[in-house]
Amino acid sequence: MEEPATPGEVPARPISIAIAAMGGQGGGVLANWIVTLAEQSGWLAQSTSVPGVAQRTGATLYYLELLPWSGGQAGHGTPPLALMPMPGDVDIVIAAEWMEAGRAIQRGLVTPERTTLIASTHRALSVQEKSVPGNGIADGGKVFEAARQAARSLVAADMAAIARRHGSVISAALFGALAASGAIPLPESRFEDAIRSTGVGVEASLAAFREAASGALAGADMARTGLAPRCAPEMVAGHSDVLTERLGQRVLSLLPAGVHELALAACRRLAEYQDTAYADEFLERIARFQGLGGIAVDGEAGEVLFEAALRRIAAAMTYDDVMRVADLKTRASRFDRLRREAGLERGQILVVTEYFHPRLEEVCGTLPRALGTFVEENRFLGWLLGRTFARGRRIRTDSLPGFLTLALLARWGRYRRGTLRHAREMQHIDDWLALVRRFAAKDARLAIEALHCRVLVKGYGDTLAGGRGKFERIMQAAQALEGRQDAADWVRRLRDIARKDEDGSKLDGALATVHSFLSESSRSPPG
Amino acid sequence: MAERSFAREVAQLRLRAGEEFRGEGIVAITKALLQCGVGYVAGYQGAPISHLMDVLADAREILEELGVHFESSASEAAAAATLAASVMYPIRGAVAWKSTAGTNVAADALSNLASSGVNGGALIVVGEDYGEGSSIMQERSHAFAMKSQIWLLDPRPNLPSIVSSVEAGFELSEASATPVMLEVRIRACHLHGRFIARDNRRPSFPLAEARANPQRDTGRIVLPPASFAHEQDKIARRWPAAVRFIRERQLNEHFPVSGAEAGIILQGGMFNGVVRALQVLGLADGLGRPQIPLLVLNVTYPLVEEEITEFCRDKRAVLVAEEGQPNFIQQAIQSVLAQSGLSTRVHGKDVLPMAGEYTTSVLVEGIRGFVGRAVPPHMRPNLRSPPDPGPVLAQESVRALADIVPSRPPGFCTGCPERPIFAAMKLVERELGAHHVAADIGCHLFSILPPFNIGATTMGYGLGPASASAFGAKSGRRTISIMGDGGFWHNGLTSSIGNAVFNKSDGVILIVDNHYAAATGGQDLPSSRAASLARSTRHPIAEAVRGVGVGWVREIDDTYDVSRMRDTLREALGTSEDGPKVIIASSECMLNRQRRLAPVRREALARGRRVVQERFGVDEDVCNGDHACVRLSGCPSLSLKPSSDPFKEDPVAAIDQDCVGCGNCGEVADAAILCPSFYRLTAIRNPGRWERLRGWFRACVMELVWRASRRRPHTGPA
């Protein structure tokens, strides 16, 4: 297989290749294939890496130089090859993850004079991005803009998906894209030979290699490079027959055309959560926003207000409680999904263990209002039940005792309206909406921001309590700000801070600012 | 040795004369040792020299055939002490470790060795962990060489040069009765290249012969008056002998250019970078032939003064390309020139930076500065500007990346058993407030990074608990110190545990036992659970800890039990018992576990045997997008995906296919009372008949329930 390339003139410069990857992605496999490719073509090849501790999931870089020249023997007398990339002087950059492509561009490795950038558009989120409560995911579109300007040519596609489709590794897809890019002047068959000669998982690797190489790369699919910040309102999965004709008619007559689809989705969600009467209750709450402060139903401001109201009130009314979770956990469609997730075929057994840790509050919340209050206020019962629920529960939903218990709890949801939790939630919602309506009468923008603040109230246990606390504090600030020109802006600012603030300290700081300038302006009213 | 197999590399060790070796620099060194007739090899693993140890550990057969003794030393100090075999006997020996961390540990033995001098060649291979990819403090091994008069080789970073410097190193050691240090940088260790092999050689003086005919000479022992004589001998005899050998054998290389008025003196390890910089500047051709003369110091200590003066005599200026600080070589050259009365101007750290790695870009800038000041125009007819990424980096779209590209430091692997330990520590911290946490060296040090942010200092391998000594008094809030099983056996048993017992320290000591030296590549330890043919394993840490006098010991054999972990920590922080409180938290390193079990599982599946496999999942519609689970985990396979629910816009948690089912997610959700969205899937492939029947019956009942619920009316309040 080995044949000497033309000895002749020493090329002025080697082909330099940087592979930007994360530890554990197998960047070394790709480097080995490239070295094999070059050596089997009679070229000189050298690769280096600095794995160090980066082998454990951190960002890392492999560097290769290939010299299309066979004039010398290995070692002495051959041109020395460099051991690290020099910014501005790299011919090919291969990024095994989209943000790593961004990092390579930032390091100056990608330049319009020289560099072919081959990158996988998939994302492996960093701890930094994942930890943010809310949405902290970096905008992949910005990497695309930078890549288009920085690279001489760009090959970008979801290489991880290609690899997955063929049960192979991302290196195989990247190697295919490298072959197709033409940046290394060798035929594709040579690339395939390099994969074959390593002898591990050859067929799967070749399949991924070929798909990546075969022109699937024309034009990157940018929709997949980042997570869309907000999804289009689509029909909620589940029962499609729950929406009666009557509800549909009511939506049409009540709301501006721009939000009909969202309103229908919301009604479906409500009906599916409880029943169609619950959707009616929802629409009644929405209806109370009509004609407030002269907001025209069909005007643009009306649409924005109704959109916010629909989105947030629907979410608030479908709060997460024990019955809701039990319902979601025992649906037939869920078990189908879990079997697919586990990759199980017929005749194979799936065991599903749920991790529940309901607390006393949640248990009391599911009881009828009077009983729940009684238990909460009775110290002995509280102590007894508190002990019972101090430990988490492992419930096997594939076993009949576990499944039937949860199915029964889900059924108890029919009586949700009578529970303590429901009474409290509705009270909370109605207090909030009364305030929002008061805002809407004078300042529609403030009302909209106050509606969106409800996004803070979510989850279970401590998360829910913390979120509710932040929500209440911002609502108080909103009332204090009411009447000011910048009230809506401040409420939005506070909400954005609160969404990314785990322990509430940043929100405290922002609220202190608000209160200080409010107390100042109360001393000297603006002229 | 569970992490990976080195069978391919071991095969390379068998290459015969004339055959071509293709592979990594550090494995090339390993092969070179055998070609040199080494009698024994010892060392302590750590990047970038781990593979030298790993390959030899897997090469028992070859070593036995050749009669070479190999040891995985308990520490670098133990490894360095092994070289004592070459003091009296003409046996070649080699040791290896990561430097300067390892050289620090070895310094005691090295000083004694260098004082005694050697009879057989003694080679110390140090992986210079400096610059990008390094995991330790940035220092130079050069200082150790100078203070003990150990000769220092720094060969050009290509395989033939590195291999021949191993050979030269042994000869130099024997010619000057002095141990020799071979310094190889990270990239050189991981360099893929080729060289033409020679046959392996059996040691000329077998170890058995030394054992049979023991020799002694009090003149070799470091005790007065011999120790004073040693110092005199170093200066009067060994040093000149070394300089003679280096000069005669031309270990340093001179690339002359006629009529040049300026030149560059460089460490061998800088060669490829300097030549690339010259090429980029139009000062060398495609073959790397420079237009400026080079003096390449493959031996950086001692300097051969005549070589320096000869190189500088006809030059108005020289540049010293010397990586790291202080600039020992530049200072020495300046001193040599001053003494010999030459007026050659010495540049170095004036045009090159004092600190940090000499990347190609740094060298380009430095050499450009030197050329501008000292190289006359006739010597640089083709001088050109280097490629400049500046304009690209100045573009708005590229500058915007600074705000979005997240940092990606290394972290715990998927399913790492250390993750739940730190999740438990976070929970305790929430409950009892922050404690001073002394960290150590090892995978567990990743706790200092997000999402855990635990750990205040790290003072050295096995020194975590020792570094909390000042806070050991019995009053107020206790300290927690952490140490891995690697650090424990390296140094921790005495320096940390014994020390804490003796000084009645009141602190809590957490020993993280993952059954291997995991951070360095999964090598075996005395407490490893697997039986080993070559080593004695299965020595419990708890026994050792009790043996040095610890009274309060708790063993947790399943670190994934977060609640138990948390409760034990809480107990340790609150107990009234005196002395150190030691918790030993043990679970097998997941990387090694998977590598061990994956083939077993594949085979069982292929044979149709019952196979149980677990993984975790998240119910998207139950998850609320708060990501508290991530903040207590950071597991690479626990990530986020867009919510498909228009009424919940935040991304929801999702677990990818890499999940190994360690259980941390569920345990954390439970212990921290997060949310009920996690579930564990246990897939049973090839189930038994009874299992299948039971499964069928369950499915029938569940189907009935679902049918009943579909009939449920959806109209109004019940």
Distance CA A252, CA B275 (A): 76
- Considering only CB atoms, B409 lies closest to which of A58, A277, A455, namely A58
Percent of chain B with pLDDT over 70: 98
DSSP track, B671-694? HTT--TTEEEEEEEES--HHHHHH
Residue A10 lies in a domain: no
The answer on A517 and A468 residing in a single domain is yes
**Of B684, B530, B659, B532, which Cα lies nearest the Cα of B596?**
B530
**Partner A contacted by B285 (CB < 8 A):** yes
Return the pLDDT at B532: 84
pLDDT band at A74 (very low <50, low <70, confident <90, very high): very low
Of the CATH numbers 3.40.50.970, 3.10.129.10, 3.30.9.10, 3.30.70.790, which one belongs to the domain with range B419-592? 3.40.50.970
pLDDT tens for B562-576 read 999 999 999 999 999
Rounded mean pLDDT, A339-344: 89
**Of B193, B29, B197, B37, which Cα lies nearest the Cα of B126?**
B29
- Considering only CB atoms, A352 lies closest to which of B642, B670, B679, namely B679
The answer on A469 and A494 residing in a single domain is yes
**Dihedral of alpha carbons B148, B151, B157, B158, sign:** negative
pLDDT tens for A210-261 read 999 986 555 444 333 333 333 333 333 333 455 677 888 888 888 888 888 8
Enumerate the residues of chain A whose CB falls inside 8 A of the CB of residue B444.
none
Q: Which residues of chain B from 168 to 197 reach within 8 Å of chain A, CB to CB?
A: 186-188, 190-196
Residue B2 has pLDDT above 80, yes or no: no
Residue of B nearest to A459 (CA): B624
pLDDT tens for B128-178 read 999 988 889 999 999 999 999 999 999 999 999 999 999 999 999 999 999
Rounded mean pLDDT, A353-373: 91
Number of domains comprising chain A: 3
- Considering only CB atoms, B408 lies closest to which of A59, A407, A415, namely A59
- Cβ-in-10-Å burial (0-12, 13-18, 19+) of B301 comes to buried
pLDDT tens for A490-503 read 999 999 999 888 77
Residue A283 lies in a domain: yes
Angstroms from B558 CA to nearest CA on chain A? 18
The answer on A436 and A291 residing in a single domain is yes
Residue to mutate among B99, B162, B195, B276, with most A CBs inside 10 A, is B276
Percent of chain B with pLDDT over 90: 87
Enumerate the residues of chain A whose CB falls inside 8 A of the CB of residue B398.
105-106, 146, 149-150
The answer on A464 and A385 residing in a single domain is no
| Assigned CATH topology for domain B15-248 | Rossmann fold (3.40.50)
- Considering only CB atoms, A54 lies closest to which of B133, B645, B715, namely B133
Return the pLDDT at B409: 87
- Cβ-in-10-Å burial (0-12, 13-18, 19+) of B348 comes to buried
Under a CB-based contact definition with an 8 Å cutoff, are residues A47 and A61 in contact?
A: no
Residue to mutate among A46, A50, A154, A411, with most B CBs inside 10 A, is A50
Residue A255 lies in a domain: yes
pLDDT tens for A30-59 read 999 999 999 999 999 999 988 765 556 788
Q: Which of A88-92, A521-525, B486-490 has the lowest mean pLDDT?
A: A521-525
Residue of A nearest to B710 (CA): A239
Distance CA A455, CA A227 (A): 19
pLDDT tens for B332-364 read 999 999 999 999 999 999 999 999 999 999 999
**Partner A contacted by B680 (CB < 8 A):** yes
Return the pLDDT at A254: 84
pLDDT tens for B602-628 read 999 999 999 999 999 999 999 988 898
Please report the beta strands in A112-252, taking only residues with DSSP state E, as ranges in sequence order: 116-120, 153-157
Q: Which residues of chain A from 257 to 296 reach within 8 Å of chain B, CB to CB?
A: 262, 265-266, 269, 271-272, 275-277
The answer on A132 and A259 residing in a single domain is no
Return the pLDDT at A501: 82
Residue A309 lies in a domain: no
Distance CA B167, CA B163 (A): 7
Under a CB-based contact definition with an 8 Å cutoff, are residues A297 and A255 in contact?
A: yes
Rounded mean pLDDT, A139-149: 94
Contact check, Cβ <8 Å, A11/B686: no
The answer on A280 and A209 residing in a single domain is no
The answer on A183 and A66 residing in a single domain is yes
pLDDT band at B715 (very low <50, low <70, confident <90, very high): low
The answer on A498 and A448 residing in a single domain is yes
Residue A168 lies in a domain: yes
DSSP track, B55-99? HHHT-HHHHHHHT-EEEE-SSHHHHHHHTTHHHHS---EEEEEEE
**Are β-strands A92-95 and A15-22 bridged in parallel, bridged antiparallel, or unpaired?**
parallel
Structure tokens at B254: 């001179």
Enumerate the residues of chain A whose CB falls inside 8 A of the CB of residue B450.
127-128, 131
- Considering only CB atoms, B679 lies closest to which of A82, A355, A463, namely A355
Residues of chain B with CATH 3.40.50.970: 15-248, 419-592
Residue of A nearest to B162 (CA): A75
The answer on A429 and A370 residing in a single domain is no
Q: Count of CB contacts below 8 A, A vs B?
A: 421
Q: Which CATH number applies to B611-708?
A: 3.30.70.20
Return the pLDDT at A198: 85
Q: How far is CA B391 from CA A99, A102, A104, A256, B394, in A?
A: 21, 16, 15, 51, 5
Q: How many CB atoms lie within 10 A of CB A196?
A: 14
**Of B137, B382, B132, which Cα lies nearest the Cα of B273?**
B132
Distance CA B703, CA A119 (A): 47
The alpha helices in B375-418, defined as continuous H runs, are: 390-394, 396-399, 401-404
Return the pLDDT at A133: 86
Structure tokens at A62: 């492999």
Under a CB-based contact definition with an 8 Å cutoff, are residues B703 and A400 in contact?
A: no
Contact check, Cβ <8 Å, A75/B718: no
Q: Which residue has the higher pLDDT, A140 or A521?
A: A140
Under a CB-based contact definition with an 8 Å cutoff, are residues A112 and A150 in contact?
A: yes
Enumerate the residues of chain A whose CB falls inside 8 A of the CB of residue B392.
88, 105, 108, 110-112, 149-150
Q: How many CB atoms lie within 10 A of CB A151?
A: 24
Domain that holds residue A412: 322-419
- Considering only CB atoms, A231 lies closest to which of B48, B617, B646, namely B646
Residue A2 has pLDDT above 60, yes or no: no
Q: pTM value?
A: 0.92
Residue ending a domain, among A401, A419, A437, is A419
| Number of helical (H) and strand (E) elements in chain A, helices listed first | 23, 8
Residue A312 lies in a domain: no
**Of B132, B58, B111, which Cα lies nearest the Cα of B230?**
B111
Contact check, Cβ <8 Å, A130/B634: yes
Residue ending a domain, among A419, A440, A458, is A419
Residue A241 lies in a domain: no
**Of B201, B173, B194, B151, which Cα lies nearest the Cα of B27?**
B194
Residue A317 lies in a domain: no
Q: Which of A75-79, A122-126, A179-183, B552-556 has the lowest mean pLDDT?
A: A75-79
Contact check, Cβ <8 Å, A325/B449: no
**Of B555, B553, B612, which Cα lies nearest the Cα of B585?**
B555
Return the pLDDT at A5: 44
Contact check, Cβ <8 Å, A10/B286: yes
Return the pLDDT at B392: 96
Q: Cα angle vertex B23, ends B21, B28, to 5°?
A: 70
The answer on A123 and A93 residing in a single domain is yes
- Cβ-in-10-Å burial (0-12, 13-18, 19+) of B214 comes to exposed
Q: How far is CA A39 from CA A32, A74, A197, B33, B196, in A?
A: 10, 11, 12, 26, 15
Q: Which residues of chain B from 370 to 429 reach within 8 Å of chain A, CB to CB?
A: 386-390, 392-393, 395, 397-398, 400-402, 404-413
Under a CB-based contact definition with an 8 Å cutoff, are residues B6 and B51 in contact?
A: yes
Q: Could you say which architecture CATH assigns to the domain B253-386?
A: 3-Layer(aba) Sandwich (3.40)
Residues of chain B with CATH 3.30.70.20: 611-708
Enumerate the residues of chain B whose CB falls inside 8 A of the CB of residue A234.
644, 646
The answer on A184 and A47 residing in a single domain is yes
The answer on A105 and A73 residing in a single domain is yes
Residue to mutate among B270, B272, B278, B408, with most A CBs inside 10 A, is B408
The rounded mean pLDDT for chain B is: 94
- CATH at A123: 3.40.920.10
The CB-side HSE value for A58 (13 A sphere, CA atoms) comes to 22
